[in-house]
Amino acid sequence: MKGYNIKTEMVETIIDKKFIRLFDLKYAEGRHYFDATRRPLEDIVATKTEEEFKKMLPDAVSCVVIVSNDGEEEKLLLSYEYRYPTGRFLLSVPAGLVDKADQAASNPLLETARREIHEETGIVIDDSRDELSVINPLLFSTPGMTDESNALVLVVLKNTDLTTLTQDGAEGQECFDGFVLLTREEAQKILTAGIDEKGHFYSVYTWAALMYFCSGMWK
């Protein structure tokens, strides 16, 4: 099956704001496809070469955070974050955009995870005790509408003092409403129900974290 080789000159900017852009991908004569993205024109995925595509960084990192304290059952750490497009606090994973400082690090994905966990939970990762690893380097969210992407990073916190949990590090438009610590049984109930304890739906990245935790793959 033949695809389309989209060049930069075939792209028209419709909206160009700080955190969101909309491009018209004129992929063939008289044919248009719209791409909502965080990326500037020179960095959208549609115009990347095969080599650039394979080496690209995601827009953001979503974290599967598991608390593993001696003598206690392991738990998945989630929080309630206000998501403006849904108008509600949704059960969410710690997550955030890969910024320029992160990109300069030896491992941008782990650096982003480290920073976001500190900002959203107050926890400082201890490299001598805790574990960080990449589950998946890049997952597209809904590529029928956007080229937005997230990496999935596993963070295992060992013998961590959870009394220090705080959401005071929220920045900009971020708004939180408490933490949730789920046992495997509790996480399975949310997976089976398809809704959280408030009866609300949640994002695909929360679903991925629940699945990864419940499957035991993190071990």
Instruction: Kindly report the CATH number assigned to the domain that includes residue 78.
Output: 3.90.79.10
What pLDDT does 3 receive?
83
pLDDT digits (tens, 9 = 90+) for 39-77: 999 999 999 999 999 999 999 999 999 999 999 999 999
pLDDT of 164 over the 90 cut = no
The answer on 111 and 98 residing in a single domain is: yes
190 within some domain: yes
The answer on 68 and 37 residing in a single domain is: no
pLDDT digits (tens, 9 = 90+) for 74-103: 999 999 999 999 999 999 999 999 999 999
% pLDDT > 70, the chain? 100
87 within some domain: yes
pLDDT digits (tens, 9 = 90+) for 141-152: 999 999 999 999
The answer on 198 and 134 residing in a single domain is: yes
Separation between Cα atoms, residue 213 and residue 210, nearest integer Å: 5
pLDDT of 1 over the 70 cut = no
Separation between Cα atoms, residue 66 and residue 158, nearest integer Å: 9
Separation between Cα atoms, residue 99 and residue 97, nearest integer Å: 6
What pTM, to 2 d.p., does this model score? 0.94
159 within some domain: yes
pLDDT of 167 over the 90 cut = yes
Compute the average pLDDT of residues 166-195: 94
Q: Residue 23 is part of which domain span? A: 8-55
What pLDDT does 19 receive?
86
The answer on 41 and 66 residing in a single domain is: no
The answer on 19 and 82 residing in a single domain is: no
Which of left, alpha, beta for 188 (phi over 0: left; psi -120 to 50: alpha)?
alpha
